């Protein structure tokens, strides 16, 4: 979907001079987009803590060697030894923990061997290759040489030590990176243990960019609850996205990702008092409410804050809403007046039309109610500053949603009827995170039951795919089996690994005959999976891990079939799940479904999900 196509239908309700002032930098387009921090995040996750420990140890070793022995060479040697102890002590612990997690599905000697191999190939081998030259030549020479050259300067020995260490570190990290690349080329990549979610950060960034381009007058706040992975949040922040949180933990995650606390919306209508106080202390100043008790709670724990009144939108998305949140529109003016009497700022209104909403006009009625509330409050001298239209923007499962331009036009048309301009905000979660994730599972058993092949996977409703149950299996996840390209199509029921009769993901889905051991790729699983039921080890089956990639599968680059049984293909098609028997004129083994619209947000074209090589050979 092109940016040009959707921008024309963008909402027109924007902030003007009549709107109460926002904090600095809280205006669409204001402030600078943070620089890309991918390499920094990767280095910090891999070596950050170890570098801190190693540096502290090196300083202590250099001081002891120089002050006691009076020799720069002795000081450099002792500093090198101490730094290695501190650095590798931390690296060893982190590597052991990672190896334990990666081999949690194994046991006994097999787990020990697999864990050792994981530790060697993933961390220790590249470090050892760099350390061999660094310990005996580079680091002592840099430390002693720089300290000796800088002796004439005030504090020159310590200045030289700092310069020498920096030079040695740059050299070491360069050698380590080179050794790691050589290891990756030399060691064949084995298939990783399943289940896990492959999270494509580049794809998430693309989805955010599509939404931001389609809704230029709407402040996009990613709903952290959809997927709070730290690297995903950091990537979105680097792209200019803001955040919406539902707890202090999510507020803190957004801040750690680089977000400014005053830009975070805390929109859970019912919050813990401690969470309110912590968020307020950190700088969060906008909170959602839908009751008088919540107003009193905020007045006690975050005095003077701004509040958004959550209005009941009678949500009707694919993933059911139980009417849990929101006040009837008629009660909103009274709640706003109470907020003002408590010293709070009646700042705006908020609503949510429901997750995976397929009808763009679902925003019309809630915005019309908000217009009426704004008019009523104006008579009391209360002018609002923000209208939060929530999330609900859908992604493609088996049915393509309407074009994103339709959603932009619907919001724009309704917002144009507001009695005065306000800042619009939205809270997409699924539309950004779901297309970025692919669940990689394995078939652990098959059996014919009631005219369909029961295909048991090592992941299921209680291990990451709980939305299958929540939606009554209306979320028809796209599925493909790369190794099964030439097998006959059969009706299948996909179930999870647990001994629970409700653990079913999809029913009546036609797939090339699955076999035990096959890898199964389940698309659009980046949201509400690993952060939801995905942490469960119910029935003793491990929760899916998360693996990160940065290579997005872009629309328009597809192949019609796989070419080899070991999946070494550039890209693989994903068959769309359907209820009835497929029309063989449109769908056949190894060929994607054609002729379906795909212009929903973040959807791939022509009813196909394209997977890069990493998805089939993780």
How many helices (H) and strands (E) in the chain?
Answer: 19, 18
Domain boundary among 368, 399, 431: 431
Contact 320, 470 (CB under 8 A): yes
Q: Is residue 557 domain-shared with residue 590, that is, in the same domain?
A: yes
Q: Domain boundary residue among 399, 431, 463?
A: 431
Within a domain: 469:
yes
pLDDT tens for each residue of 97-106: 877 766 665 5
Q: Is the pLDDT of residue 307 over 60?
A: yes
The confidence score (pLDDT) of residue 596 equals 25
| Same domain, yes or no: 81 and 178 | yes
**In sequence order, which residues have a C-beta less than 8 Å from that of residue 373 and are 6 or more positions away?**
309, 311, 329, 332, 333, 336, 349
Q: Coil, helix or strand for 435? A: helix
Structural domain ending residue among the three candidates 381, 414, 431: 431
Q: Are residues 249 and 123 in the same domain?
A: no
Asked whether residue 476 falls in the same domain as residue 412, the answer is no
| 26 occurs within a structural domain | yes
- Clarify whether residues 438 and 427 are in a common domain: no
In a domain, residue 467? The reply is yes
Q: Is residue 438 located within the same domain as residue 426?
A: no
471, 609: one domain: yes
Of 140-149, 184-193, 364-373, 473-482, give the range with the top mean pLDDT.
364-373
Residue 192, domain member (yes or no): no
pLDDT in tens, 245-292: 999 999 999 999 999 999 999 999 999 999 999 999 999 999 999 999
Q: Are residues 306 and 210 in the same domain?
A: yes
- Per-residue pLDDT of 424-474, as tens digits, reads 999 999 999 999 999 999 999 999 988 899 898 988 878 878 787 777 677
| CATH code at position 467 | 2.40.37.10
Give how far the C-alpha of residue 145 lies from the chain's centroid of Cα atoms, to the nearest Å: 46
Residues 388 and 497 in one domain: no
Cα dihedral 247→251→253→256 (10° resolution):
-160
pLDDT of residue 432: 96
Has residue 164 been placed in a domain?
A: yes
Q: For residues 267 and 183, which has the higher predicted lDDT (pLDDT)?
A: 267
Q: Determine, yes or no, domain membership for 195.
A: no
* Model confidence, pTM: 0.65
Neighbouring residues of 498: CB distance < 8 A, sequence distance ≥ 6: 460, 462, 463, 538, 539, 541
Query: What is the DSSP annotation of 102-127?
Result: HTTT--HHHHHHHHHHHHIIIIIHHH
Number of compact structural domains in the chain: 3
Closest CA to 493 of 527, 548, 446: 446
Tell me how far apart the terminal alpha carbons of the chain are, to the nearest angstrom. 29
Beta-carbon contacts of 239 under 8 Å, excluding residues fewer than 6 positions away, are: 33, 205, 208, 209
Same domain, 140 and 25: no
Least confident of 18-32, 164-178, 528-542: 18-32
Contact partners, residue 90, CB within 8 Å, separation at least 6? 49, 50, 53, 54
Residues 442 and 369 in one domain: no
Q: Is 194 part of a structural domain of the chain?
A: no
Distance of CA 159 to the CA centre of its chain: 42
Quote the domain boundaries for residue 232.
3-32+203-431
Residue 196 lies inside a defined structural domain of this protein: no
Same domain, 466 and 541: yes
Which pLDDT score is estimated for 100?
A: 76
Task: Tell the burial category of 30 from Cβ atoms under 10 Å away from its Cβ (0-12, 13-18, 19+).
Answer: exposed
Sign of the dihedral defined by the CA atoms of residues 357, 359, 362, 363, in that order: positive
> What is the domain-level CATH number for residue 288?
3.20.20.10
Largest interatomic CA distance in the chain: 88
């Amino acid at each position: 979907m092109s940016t040009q196509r959707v921008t024309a239908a963008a909402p027109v309700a924007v902030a003007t001079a009549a709107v109460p002032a926002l904090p600095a930098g809280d205006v669409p387009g204001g402030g600078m987009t943070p620089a890309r921090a991918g390499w920094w995040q990767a280095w910090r996750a891999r070596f950050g803590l170890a570098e801190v420990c190693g540096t502290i140890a090196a300083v202590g070793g250099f001081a002891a060697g120089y002050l006691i022995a009076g020799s720069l060479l002795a000081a450099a040697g002792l500093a090198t030894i101490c730094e290695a102890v501190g650095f590798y002590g931390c690296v060893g612990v982190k590597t052991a923990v990672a190896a334990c997690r990666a081999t949690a599905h194994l046991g006994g000697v097999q787990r020990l061997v697999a864990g050792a191999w994981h530790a060697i190939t993933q961390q220790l081998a590249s470090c050892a290759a760099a350390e061999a030259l660094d310990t005996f030549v580079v680091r002592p020479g840099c430390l002693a040489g720089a300290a000796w050259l800088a002796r004439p300067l005030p504090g020159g020995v310590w200045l030289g030590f700092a310069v020498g260490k920096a030079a040695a570190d740059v050299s070491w990290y360069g050698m380590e990176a080179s050794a790691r690349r050589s290891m990756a080329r030399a060691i064949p990549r084995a298939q990783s243990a399943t289940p896990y979610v492959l999270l494509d950060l580049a794809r998430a960034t693309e989805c955010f960019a599509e939404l931001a381009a389609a809704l230029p007058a709407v402040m996009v706040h990613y709903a952290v609850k959809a997927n709070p992975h730290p690297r995903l949040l950091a990537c979105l922040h680097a792209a200019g996205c803001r955040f919406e949180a539902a707890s202090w933990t999510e507020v803190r995650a957004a801040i750690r990702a680089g977000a400014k606390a005053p830009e975070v919306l805390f929109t859970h209508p019912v919050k813990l008092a401690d969470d309110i106080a912590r968020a307020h202390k950190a700088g969060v100043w906008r909170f959602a409410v839908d009751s008088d008790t919540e107003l009193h709670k905020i007045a006690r724990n975050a005095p003077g804050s701004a509040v958004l009144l959550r209005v009941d939108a009678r949500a009707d998305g694919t993933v059911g809403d139980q009417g849990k949140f929101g006040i009837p529109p008629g009660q909103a003016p009274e709640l706003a007046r109470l907020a003002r009497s408590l010293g709070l700022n009646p700042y705006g209104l908020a609503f949510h039309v429901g997750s995976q909403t397929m009808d763009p006009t679902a925003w019309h009625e809630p915005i019309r109610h908000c217009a009426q509330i704004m008019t009523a409050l104006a008579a009391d001298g209360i002018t609002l500053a923000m209208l939060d239209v929530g999330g609900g923007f859908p992604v493609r499962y088996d049915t393509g949603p309407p074009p994103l331009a339709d959603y932009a036009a619907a919001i724009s048309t309704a917002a144009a009827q507001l009695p005065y301009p306000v800042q619009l905000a939205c809270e997409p979660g699924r539309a950004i995170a779901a297309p970025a994730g692919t669940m990689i599972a394995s078939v652990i058993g098959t059996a014919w039951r009631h005219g369909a092949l029961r295909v048991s996977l090592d992941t299921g409703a209680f291990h990451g795919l709980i939305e299958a149950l929540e939606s009554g299996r209306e979320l028809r996840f796209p599925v493909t089996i790369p190794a099964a390209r030439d097998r006959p199509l059969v009706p299948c029921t996909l179930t999870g690994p647990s001994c629970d009769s409700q653990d079913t993901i999809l029913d009546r889905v036609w797939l090339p005959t699955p076999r035990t051991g096959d890898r199964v790729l389940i698309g659009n699983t980046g949201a509400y999976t690993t952060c939801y039921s995905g942490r469960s080890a119910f029935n003793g089956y491990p929760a899916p891990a998360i693996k990160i990639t940065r290579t997005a599968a872009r629309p328009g680059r597809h192949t019609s079939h796989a070419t080899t049984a070991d999946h070494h293909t550039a890209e693989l098609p994903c068959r769309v799940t359907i209820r009835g028997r497929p029309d063989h004129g449109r769908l056949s083994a190894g060929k994607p479904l054609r002729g379906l619209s795909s212009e929903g947000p973040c959807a791939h074209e022509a009813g196909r999900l394209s997977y890069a090589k990493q998805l089939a050979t993780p």
